[in-house]
Structure 1
């Protein structure tokens, strides 16, 4: 939700509470707003706790992560997908990298707290595996 819309709804709830019930309505509206903020904080802490329990920058499958990432996502939406904190490689733009066991990696650039670019880098294939085996000539 957009922050401006969220705060606008909070102000509207307080005003509606005052208009309908007076000061008890204001207290009810403020209680609901604080409860909503605590739910958001609890969600963020849960995501960070899960992400901190895994090695930094590691994911199960880089290709699957790459397909699920979309421009405009926030880091708090990316962390449940990766279940780990990304390895920070640059500050401007803020850039994180996640790598899987096969060596494939996903590079995510954030501008203004939102995903602006996503790049998948495949691990180099060894020469022995790259060329198909040719049958012996008879």
Structure 2
């Protein structure tokens, strides 16, 4: 179990008790108002991220290389979704840890991210192999006209 799930509610309870002890019920009302405001700010941010992600295809990112450069360890999944403005394509089973998601760009490069308890632990960038069409491209020597030859 994540220690953060215990410490935050206990810390908020201690803050409310300290407000009651120092300022009585008006102090509790002020601290409770601050806590509610904090919760509403987080809820509003989550809803705006999800609204932006809803307008894009699942698993799409503008540039997988830029996403790879911006990622840092221990970043929450919500922050990665905010960076990509897209929900990731789920590769792992639902409800299992680690959660694995993939974001792909237009050039078929993709970033695969692994999240444990909602936090990014590792990621990898995969770029497509370059095609061997270089031999089929005309070279300047094949297009150059030889002196004395005329084209009509």
The answer, yes or no, to whether TM exceeds 0.5 is: yes
Secondary structure of 1:54 counterpart: coil
Structure 1 unpaired stretches of 5+? none
Q: Does 1:81 align with 2:83?
A: yes
2:111 pairs, out of 87, 96, 106, with 106
- 1:125 aligned partner: 130
Structure 1 residue runs of 4 or more that deviate by more than 6 Å after TM superposition: 130-135
User: How far apart, CA to CA, are the structure 1 residues paired with 2:10 and 2:140?
Assistant: 71
- TM-score w.r.t. structure 1 length? 0.86
Aligned positions of 1:88-99 closer than 5 A: 88-91=90-93, 92-99=97-104
Secondary structure (helix, strand or coil) at the match of 1:72 reads coil
**Corresponding residue for 1:17?**
19
- Structure 2 residue aligned with 1:116: 121
Q: Could you say what secondary structure the match of 1:41 adopts?
A: helix
Q: Say if 1:52 and 1:129 are closer, same or farther in 2 by CA, change over 3 A.
A: farther
Q: Measured at CA, do residues 20 and 79 of structure 1 come closer, stay the same or move farther in structure 2, by a change above 3 Å?
A: same
Further displaced range: 117-126 or 13-22: 13-22
Task: Give the Cα–Cα distance (whole angstroms) in 2 for the partners of residues 43 and 23 of structure 1.
Answer: 30
Deviation at 1:4? 4.9
Unaligned runs of 5+ in 2: 143-152
Of 42, 53, 56 in structure 2, the residue corresponding to residue 54 of structure 1 is: 56
- Kindly provide the CA deviation profile for residues 7-45 of structure 1, in whole angstroms up to 9, marking residues without a partner as x: 344223212211222122112211211111111111111
The residue correspondences of 1:29-44 to structure 2 (distance < 5 A) are 29-44=31-46
Alignment: residue pair count: 137
Change (3 A) 1:129 1:87: farther
